[in-house]
Structure 1
Amino acid sequence: MCVASLTPVTGHEDLIYDLAHVADLTGWSCHFVGGIAQNPAHVARLRALIDEYELVDRVTIHGPLADDALDEAYTAVDLLVLPSYAESFGLVVQEPLSRTIPVMASDVGSVPEAIGSTPAGERPGLPIPRVR
């Protein structure tokens, strides 16, 4: 699952591209949860990419979820992915970590700080350097 507003800065296009490269693997799906009203043209672009890469059965844009619906979404996921180009504060990273859901997120802004470390000094999430 990717929880972030669907805007160019949150890197959903890169995630779609990366998911297209593992489309031959079985048993996965990705759910985009977040605001879709901020940039309707970008959301349309994402939908077109999902269609172009033939991921319509695997990648779903849900829009924003809250309360019970968001709790249900977190209960069903195995990994939170955050491919952002910038993050002012990584609250979206802390929510899944508090639920013991692993996180793979761009190593940008305050994300590494938000991921933090365990008392043993290990990272509970994986910050990934942005390469594009």
Structure 2
Amino acid sequence: MSRSDSVRFRYNQAILAAAIIAFIGALPLANARTYLLPVLLVPLAVGIWAWRAGTDADARELRVRALAGQRRIPWDHVVELATDPRGRAVARLDDGQEVLLPAVRATDLPRLVSATGQTLPGAAG
């Protein structure tokens, strides 16, 4: 499957820029005392999370990516795509689990469904 057949959802890259600025800002503090070096881990972790976290979808599966690792969910295990009260997208699975789809909002659901090659019921097209 080519990259054009998949859809990627990521958080705003301004988070990554803020993490880089925070890392640079924490350098003088971390250099002041050696026991303060772990302070640098916080903006580093936020930066890695902002770069990696998100949801990828193609005709075969959903890939939910986090700071460390990813989960692949075949579409035949997804019973429903819905939203939670905060407007975030959730995939309900056939085993009763609900998986939050990082970086996917309620308004992104039609684009997510289009990655499967399907159309939404009642969608003009």
Normalised to the residue count of structure 1, the TM-score between the two structures is 0.27
Higher alpha-carbon Rg? 2
Q: Tell me which protein shows more helix as a share of its residues.
A: 2
Q: Tell me which protein shows more strand as a share of its residues.
A: 2
Normalised to the residue count of structure 2, the TM-score between the two structures is 0.28
